[in-house]
């Protein structure tokens, strides 16, 4: 189901023309209304008129999370207070949160892109969408909420948490689409199994999962255990919230709604723009936001862009699933390791529960990586040597994925913390002081 054929299937020339016009406009608006951008442009001797073609975007300065934090709370707003009708913030786990301000038009854009996203998951007017993203300052809850209403489906605004209630509602309301983090989706599957619920009797057909990184193996696991199509959604508060990009049923990358958000991939070290298919940091520019235009925001998310037309008919560029973040990238004994690599290795093992925790320590001068996984009947035996073989097999599997020796510890089932929001996968105990 394509929500907006005109926008999602336009020709490349048409798209570029729209993007260029919008880019010129937003750069002008940012320069004239946001003191931060005026200052940055002036320092670089740049004028909005310097943007004559799309590639000229590379002349523009980057905006980082730190820049936004320094403008806390409302320093990046480009309109008068009376125009702002809603605010959201990032989680603020790494310091002061960043604030995003929305005008009515911004909320309309958000509803539109979320309607496109939910349509990709097959949402129609008759569907009931159980929205288990948290409502509040976090953008997940209201983003899905607005999109559902735009589509004309029924939103069940249950918010995050209270798993027994979630399961009761899934059954009683005959929920068709569920939206939450992928780790919570797995947790729901686990509890459903424990309660002996027959998933074939549920109305669930698809899930829109995001707000944290996940792997293809995890998708297979969720699809198998919940009997649904599990699709990936991407977004961030600084840009708008969820709805920057979404996977279609081809499950072959996320379509970026590039008539509203202009993507680039850069080398995080040299900051040079990279070509199609090259892996690097995603940089986004809002093309239509009124309340808070953002130019070249460094997302810290690592992905690559693909331009060949998708089998679904959409011409929108696709980004690979996020494989890491420049900041949750771990450097272990000098080797770059992403938690997603470890997850991929674990999920290749039959009977492995997708619950794990990575603990990084530095007992002397060398980093040690411990991966805790939950024992399961499939991994366990009455003989010590078999359990130790399993442990070594897991260690080998991870070793071949990341190129480093790790120590795997089997822990008892359900002893690793379950999360109702973003799962905490890495505990770094190294002391760098």
Partner 1 sequence: MKLKQISIFLENKKGRLKKAINVLSQADINIRALSIADTSEFGILRLIVPQPEEAQKVLEENHFVVKVNEVIAVEVPDKPGGLDGILGVLHDSDTNVEYIYAFVEKNSDNAVVVIRTEDIDEGIKVLEAGNIHVLTSEEVNLL
Q: Which residue in the set 43, 350, 364, 412 belongs to the binding site for partner 1 (CB under 8 A)?
A: 412
Part in contact with partner 1 (CB under 8 A); list of ranges 138-146, 223-231, 309-317, 383-391: 383-391
Separation CA 116–CA 109 (nearest Å): 11
HSE-up (13 A, CA, CB side) for residue 217: 17
Residue 387 lies near partner 1 (rule: CB under 8 A):
yes
Q: Which residue in the set 16, 108, 380, 430 belongs to the binding site for partner 1 (CB under 8 A)?
A: 380
Q: Which residue in the set 381, 389, 392, 403 belongs to the binding site for partner 1 (CB under 8 A)?
A: 381
- How far is CA 31 from each of CA 103, 273, 343, 373, 422, rounded to the nearest angstrom? 18, 23, 44, 51, 36
Part in contact with partner 1 (CB under 8 A); list of ranges 137-145, 146-154, 270-278, 413-421: 413-421
Long-range pairs of 61-68 with CB within 8 A, sequence gap ≥ 24? 61/295, 61/296, 62/271, 62/283, 62/296, 62/297, 62/298, 63/294, 63/295, 63/296, 63/297, 63/298, 64/297, 64/298, 65/94, 65/98, 65/238, 65/298, 65/300, 67/36, 68/98, 68/99, 68/238
**In this complex, which beta carbon is closest to partner 1, that of residue 328 or of residue 370?**
370
Site string for partner 1, 358-377 (x = CB under 8 A): -----------------xxx
**In this complex, which beta carbon is closest to partner 1, that of residue 144 or of residue 379?**
379
Residue 220 lies near partner 1 (rule: CB under 8 A):
no
- For the chain, the helix, strand and coil percentages under 3-state DSSP, each to the nearest 5: 35, 20, 45
Residue 349 lies near partner 1 (rule: CB under 8 A):
no
Q: Which residue in the set 94, 414, 427, 429 belongs to the binding site for partner 1 (CB under 8 A)?
A: 414
Separation CA 265–CA 216 (nearest Å): 22
Greatest CA separation for the chain: 74
Residue 82 lies near partner 1 (rule: CB under 8 A):
no
Number of C-beta neighbours around residue 93 at 10 A = 8
Q: Which residue in the set 14, 173, 413, 422 belongs to the binding site for partner 1 (CB under 8 A)?
A: 413
**In this complex, which beta carbon is closest to partner 1, that of residue 13 or of residue 412?**
412
Structural tokens at position 283: 């940089």
Q: Which residue in the set 43, 350, 384, 417 belongs to the binding site for partner 1 (CB under 8 A)?
A: 384
Part in contact with partner 1 (CB under 8 A); list of ranges 50-58, 139-147, 196-204, 379-387: 379-387
Residue 227 lies near partner 1 (rule: CB under 8 A):
no
Part in contact with partner 1 (CB under 8 A); list of ranges 38-46, 174-182, 267-275, 406-414: 406-414
> What is the contact surface with partner 1 in residues (CB under 8 A)?
375-377, 379-385, 387-388, 409-415
């Amino acid at each position: 189901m394509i929500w907006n054929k005109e926008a999602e299937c336009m020709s490349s020339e048409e798209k570029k023309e729209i993007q260029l016009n919008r880019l010129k406009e937003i750069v002008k608006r940012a320069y004239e209304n946001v003191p931060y951008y005026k200052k940055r442009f002036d320092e670089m001797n740049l004028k909005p008129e310097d943007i004559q073609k799309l590639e000229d975007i590379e002349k523009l300065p980057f905006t980082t999370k730190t820049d936004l934090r320094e403008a806390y709370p409302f320093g990046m707003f480009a309109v008068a207070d009376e125009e702002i009708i809603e605010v959201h913030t990032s989680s603020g786990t790494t310091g002061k949160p960043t604030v995003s301000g929305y005008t009515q038009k911004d909320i309309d854009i958000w509803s539109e892109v979320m309607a496109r996203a939910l349509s990709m998951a097959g949402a129609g007017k008759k569907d009931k969408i159980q929205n288990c993203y948290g409502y509040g300052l976090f953008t997940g809850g209201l983003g899905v909420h607005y999109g559902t209403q735009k589509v004309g489906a029924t939103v069940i605004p249950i918010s995050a948490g209270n798993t027994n209630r979630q399961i009761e509602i899934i059954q009683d309301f005959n929920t068709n689409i569920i939206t939450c983090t992928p780790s919570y989706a797995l947790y729901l599957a686990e509890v459903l199994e424990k309660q002996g619920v027959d998933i074939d009797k549920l109305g669930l057909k698809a899930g829109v999962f995001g707000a944290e990184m996940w792997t293809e193996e995890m998708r297979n696991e969720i699809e198998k255990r919940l009997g649904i199509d599990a699709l990936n959604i991407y977004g961030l508060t600084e840009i708008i919230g969820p709805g920057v990009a979404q996977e279609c049923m081809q499950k072959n990358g996320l379509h970026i709604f590039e008539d509203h958000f202009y993507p680039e991939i850069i080398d995080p070290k040299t900051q040079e723009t990279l070509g199609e298919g090259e892996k690097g940091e995603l940089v986004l520019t809002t093309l239509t936001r009124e309340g808070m235009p953002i130019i070249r925001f460094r997302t810290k998310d690592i992905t690559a862009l693909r331009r060949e037309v998708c089998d679904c008919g959409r011409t929108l560029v696709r980004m690979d699933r996020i494989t890491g973040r420049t900041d949750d990238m771990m450097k272990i004994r000098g080797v770059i390791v992403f938690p997603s690599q470890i997850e991929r290795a674990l999920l290749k093992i039959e009977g492995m529960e997708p619950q794990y925790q990575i603990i990084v320590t530095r007992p002397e001068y060398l980093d040690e990586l411990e991966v805790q996984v939950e024992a399961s009947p499939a991994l366990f035996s009455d003989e010590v040597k078999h359990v130790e073989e399993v442990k070594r097999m897991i260690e080998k599997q991870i070793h071949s994925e990341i190129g480093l020796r790790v120590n795997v510890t089997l822990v008892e089932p359900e002893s690793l913390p379950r999360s109702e929001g973003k799962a905490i996968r890495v505990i770094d105990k190294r002391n760098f002081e």
